[in-house]
């Protein structure tokens, strides 16, 4: 599991996440899917993923287990 680039839409355990493209920070409740960044722009958001700052990150039933 890569805690430095968790794709949008991945199921995650509770924690705080930082957008890898713009630095926006969100806090998620347990067993929620990561949304796209609230500042999303197809021109500036190339990675389309979040970095795990706290918590466990990817949930065991992540829909993208190989990324």
Question: Over 80: is that where the pLDDT of 6 sits?
Answer: yes
Q: Quote the number of domains for the chain.
A: 1
In a domain, 63, yes or no: no
- pLDDT per residue as tens digits for the range 17-66: 999 999 999 998 777 789 999 999 999 999 999 999 987 655 555 555 45
In a domain, 1, yes or no: no
In a domain, 36, yes or no: yes
In a domain, 14, yes or no: yes
Cα distance between residue 49 and residue 43, in whole Å: 15
In a domain, 25, yes or no: yes
Q: What is the pTM for the complete model shown?
A: 0.77
Give the domain extent around 30.
6-55
> Which residue in 30, 6, 41 sits closest to 20, CA to CA?
6
Contacts of 43 (CB under 8 A, 6+ apart): none
The 8-class DSSP code of residue 36 comes to P
In a domain, 20, yes or no: yes
């Amino acid at each position: 599991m890569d805690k430095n680039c968790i794709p949008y839409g991945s199921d995650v355990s509770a924690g705080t996440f930082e957008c890898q493209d713009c630095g926006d920070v969100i806090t998620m409740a347990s067993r929620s899917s990561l949304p796209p960044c609230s500042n999303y722009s197809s021109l500036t958001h190339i990675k389309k993923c979040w970095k795990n700052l706290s918590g466990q990150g990817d949930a065991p039933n992540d829909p993208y287990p190989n990324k």
